[in-house]
Chain A
Amino acid sequence: MEENQDVQAHQVIEETRLKYDPKKNVITVCAGTGCRAYGSLKVKEALEAELQKQNIKAEVVATGCLGFCEKGPMTVIHPHKYFYQSVKVEDVPEIVSKTVAKGEVISRLFYRHPETQKTLFREEDLPFYKKQLRVVFGKNGMIDPTKIDDYLAIEGYQALAKVLSEMTPEQVINEVKKAGLRGRGGGGFHAAVKWEGVRKAHGDPKYVIANGDEGDPGAYMDRSLMEGNPHSVIEGMIIGAYAVGSSQGYIYVRNEYPLAVTHLTLAIEAARERGLLGKNILGTDFSFDIKINKGAGAFVCGESSALFASIEGRAGEPRAKYVHAVEKGLYDKPTVLNNVETWANVPLIINKGADWYASIGTEGSKGTKIFSLVGKINNTGLIEVPMGTTLYEIIYDMGGGIPKGRKFKAVQTGGPSGGCIPESLLDLPVDFDKLYEVGSMMGSGGMIVMDDTSCMVDVARYFTTFLEEESCGKCVPCREGVRRMKEILDDICAGKGQEGDVELLEKIATGVADGSLCALGGSAPNPVLSTIKYFRHEYEAHIKEHRCPAGVCKALITYSIDAEKCTGCGACIKVCPVQAITGEKKKAHVIDDKKCTRCGACIESCKFDSIIVK
C-alpha cells in the first residue's frame, strides 16, 4: 500500500517535469503589479503578435514579479538569458527580429553599471541581483503563476510528495524545527513550536491559515509571492496541515491585492484537479482543502485574533491572549497561523533539507528574508538575502545608494511597529534579534529609505496618525494613548511644540507599550521612541528653533526663489494654485509668503532648481 502511494505521488509530478526543456525559445515578461503598471502586459501582447507576424516560433510567458521594479517592464530572452529592462512596445519588433530570431543583442536595452558604464547582459551580472540569494523568490521568474504545470516543472509539489510518502507528521515538524524557521510576518516566532502545539492540542477540527494581510505600509513581498508563485504558498500549507493534522485551511488576503486573489483562486482549483488538494491527496488518506478570505481594509486584521474574528464574519477586534491560538484560535479550535513567506519557505526546507537551510543565515535567524527596498533609493524593488546581510550591503551594494546624490538619513523597518535606524548603524547585520536590539523590528520586511529631505518628526507623526486610525478602539491605552501622542506630534509639526513635549511623549509611549491588549498597541510607540532616540536634535529644532531641518513641516518652512538661478520662464506662475508668484518674463520671480500654501507645485514645475525651501 505504501509503495503504491509513493509511486502515485511521484508519477503526476514526474510526467510534467519531463515536458520542461530549458533550451526552448522562451521570452519571459515580468507581470508583477509594478511591471503591469509600466505596461508589461502590452509588451507581452506585442511580442506575441510580432512573433506571429515574423513567423518565428517562441513562447511568451508572463511571469511573477522579478523584483527589480525600478527597471520594469523586464523581459528575459531565453535560452541566452538576455535581460532587457524598461522595455517598450516600440522595442518589440527589433527584439523579435534580432534577439529572438538571430541571437543578436540590442545594446540600449541592457542595464549599464552606474559607475563603470559597462553593459551587463544577464540578471546575475547586475549589482542589484549579485549579492542576493533568491531561493524562495527567484522561482517567480521561471513560471507563469497561472499554470500549475510550470510550477510542477521546477520541482513543485515534490516536497509534498516526499512528505506524504516518506515522512511522519512528527518528522516534518522536527525537520522544520531543525531548520530553525521563524515566522516572517513580524514576531519571528519559531514555526515548528506553533506546529507542535497544534499537533498536541485537543480539539477538532484544526485549522491552518496563511496570513496574507500584508498591512505594513512599504512592504509587498507577500503580494509578490501570492501573485507570482501561489503554489509555493499552497504547497507549504498542505505540508503544514499534514504535520499538525488539519483538514481545513484559509488564506486571508488583503482587500488591496485583487491579482493575488485571482492567482491563488486559479492555483487552488488547479491543485484540486490534480489531486493535490481536497480528499485523499495524492492517493493517500490525508485530506485537506483551502478557502480564500478577503480582508476589507483593516490593518489590525493582521493580528492573529483579529484575523480570526474577521474570518468568522465579525469586526476585526483582537482579544486578550490568555489562551494561545494553538489551543483556541479560529472558531476556538487549535490553529496554526503563519505568514505567506513563512509557508513558501516550507517546501524548500523539505526539498533541500534542514541542514542546508540552517547553514544560511545567522545563529538565531536561519534562511533568507525578502525585503522591499523602497523610498529614497536608486534601485527600488524586492530583494532576497541571507539573514545577517548588513544594511549597508542592502542599501548601497544592491540598492545603489540614494538618488540625486543626496545624503542617507535613516532606514525604517518593521512598518508601524518598527523604528528608524540611523546612518551610524548601517553596519548592522539584519536579523530578527539585531533589529529588535536597536529599537526596531523585522516586521514583514519593508525597508523604507529616507534621505535628508525626510523629516523624522513628520515620519513619527505619519506612523502615529496611521495607528490612531487603525487602532480598533477596544482597549484604552492604545485608543487614547496613541491619540495623545499624535496630538503632541501634530503640534510639534505645526510649530506649536513646547518644552517637555519629548519627555511627555516618552512617558505616554511607555504606558501604551505596557498597557495595550495586542501587538498593535504594544509596538505603536516604536516609531516615536526610535526617532527620539536617534534624531532628538530634529525634535529640538522643531520645538526650540521653530525650524524643520528637512524642509517638510509646512508651518515651519518658507518658500522663496533663488534670483540667480531663476530664468523668469513663468512655469511656476502658471502652476501656482493660489497666485502667490509674480514676476515679469525673463526676470527673477518672487513668492508672496502670505499667500503661499507650500503645496510644492512650483518645485515640481521648476526646471532650474531655483525654489528654496527653508
Chain B
Amino acid sequence: MTKAISVAAKTKQIVKKYGNSKSGMIAVLQDIQEAFNYLPKEALKTAAKAMNVPFSRVYEAATFYTAFSLKPRGKNIVKICMGTACHVRGAAALQDKFERTLGIKPGETTKDNKFSLETVNCVGACALGPVVVINTDYHGQVTMKKIDKIIDNINKEGAQ
C-alpha cells in the first residue's frame, strides 16, 4: 500500500514538472521509467488523470516507443547494438552468446533480477563495433570471450 502511494505521489510530481500538460507525455514517461526502472501501471493511471487524458492515450505512447518497458527490468541492463556496422561485424553472434549465457531472450529479465537483455537499433558508436552498452558503459569490439569477462565482473561486483 505504501508503495502504491509513493508511486502515485512521485508520478504526480513528475507530471507537474511538465506543467500537467499532455504535450509533456514522452518526457513524463521517460522520467517515470527513470524513477522506477519501468512503467508501473499505477503510475500510468495516475499520469493519465493528472494530464487529463484517457488512459488509452498514455498506454498508446507507452507501447509505441521501444525505450519503454511495462515490465520491471533487472539491475543491469544489457543493450546489444544492432546497427548495420555492428551487424556486419558479428552482432548477431553476440546476441546468441548473451542469450545462452544469461538464459534469456531480448526483452526478458533473469530470474534473480540481475540482468535484462535488450537490443538497440544503433547506439551511434559505430567505430567501436560490435558494441554492447551495459547500463551507461560502452564496451567496444566485443568478443564472446569479452562477454564472459564482463558478466563475471558484474556478478562479482554485484554480489550482494
Interface residues, chain A, with chain B CB atoms under 8 Å away: 33-34, 36-38, 69-70, 72, 214-220, 223, 254-258, 293-299, 310-317, 372, 374-376, 380-381, 412, 415, 446, 448, 450, 454, 459, 462-463, 466, 470, 472, 575, 577, 597, 599-601, 604-605
Contacts and interface: CB of A to CB of B under 8 A. Distances in A.
Given A312-B23, A448-B88, 19 more contacts: A34-B125, A36-B138, A217-B84, A218-B84, A218-B85, A223-B124, A255-B67, A256-B120, A256-B122, A293-B27, A296-B29, A316-B65, A375-B88, A376-B88, A454-B88, A462-B84, A575-B145, A577-B100, A604-B144
Contacts of A297: 65-68, 120-121
A256 B136 CA distance: 10
Given A448-B84, A599-B93, A217 B68 contact: no
Contacts of B68: 296-297
Interface in B106-148: 120-129, 131, 136-140, 143-145
| B contact residues, range | 35 or more
B65 A298 contact: yes
B128 A599 contact: no
A120 B97 CA distance: 40
Contacts of B26: 293-296, 310, 313
B65 A311 contact: no
B138 A220 contact: no
B60 interface: yes
A446 B121 CA distance: 14
Given A218-B83, A375-B88, A600-B93, A314 B126 contact: no
Given A256-B124, A381-B127, A217 B83 contact: yes
12 contacts: A69-B128, A215-B121, A255-B67, A293-B26, A299-B121, A314-B25, A314-B60, A315-B64, A375-B129, A459-B88, A599-B97, A600-B90
Contacts of B100: 577, 599
B31 to A, nearest CB: 10
Contacts of B64: 298, 315-317, 472
B23 A311 contact: yes
B89 interface: yes
Contacts of A69: 127-128
A269 B136 CA distance: 24
A37 B128 contact: yes
A219 B127 CA distance: 10
Nearest to B129: A374
Q: Which 6 A-B pairs have the closest CB atoms?
A: A69-B127, A313-B25, A296-B65, A297-B67, A217-B83, A220-B124
Contacts of B87: 217, 459, 462
A374 B65 contact: no
A466 B119 CA distance: 12
Interface in B45-94: 57, 60-61, 64-68, 82-85, 87-90, 93
B42 interface: no
Interface in B1-41: 21-27, 29-30
Given A313-B22, A315-B61, A575-B144, A375 B138 contact: no
B138 A33 contact: yes
A253 B119 CA distance: 19
Given A34-B127, A294-B27, A311-B23, A599 B96 contact: yes
Contacts of B25: 313-314
Contacts of B129: 374-375, 380
A312 B95 CA distance: 35
Contacts of B125: 33-34, 37, 220
Nearest to A331: B23
Contacts of B143: 604
A425 B61 CA distance: 44
A604 B145 contact: yes
Contacts of A258: 136
Contacts of B57: 314
B33 to A, nearest CB: 9
Contacts of B140: 34, 37-38
Contacts of B97: 599, 601
A579 B18 CA distance: 56
Contacts of A298: 64-66
A37 B121 contact: no
Given A215-B121, A311-B23, A380 B126 contact: yes
Task: Please indicate which of the listed interface residues B21, B64, B82 has the most CB atoms of chain A within 10 Å of its own CB.
Answer: B64
A575 B22 CA distance: 52
Task: Please indicate which of the listed interface residues B24, B88, B129, B139 has the most CB atoms of chain A within 10 Å of its own CB.
Answer: B88
Contacts of B21: 313
B85 A37 contact: no
A312 B61 CA distance: 11
A37 B139 CA distance: 6
Nearest to B118: A297
Nearest to B68: A296
Nearest to A311: B23
A158 B67 CA distance: 39
B126 A374 contact: yes
A257 B136 CA distance: 11
Contacts of A472: 64
Contact of A217 (B89, B93, B122, B139): B122
A217 B138 contact: no
A315 B27 CA distance: 13
Given A33-B138, A217-B121, A312-B23, A376 B89 contact: yes
B84 A375 contact: yes
Contacts of A36: 138
A298 B66 CA distance: 6
Contacts of B23: 311-313
A472 B60 CA distance: 12
Contacts of A312: 23
Contacts of B138: 33, 36-37
Task: Please indicate which of the listed interface residues B22, B30, B84, B122 has the most CB atoms of chain A within 10 Å of its own CB.
Answer: B84
Nearest to A597: B96
A33 B124 contact: yes
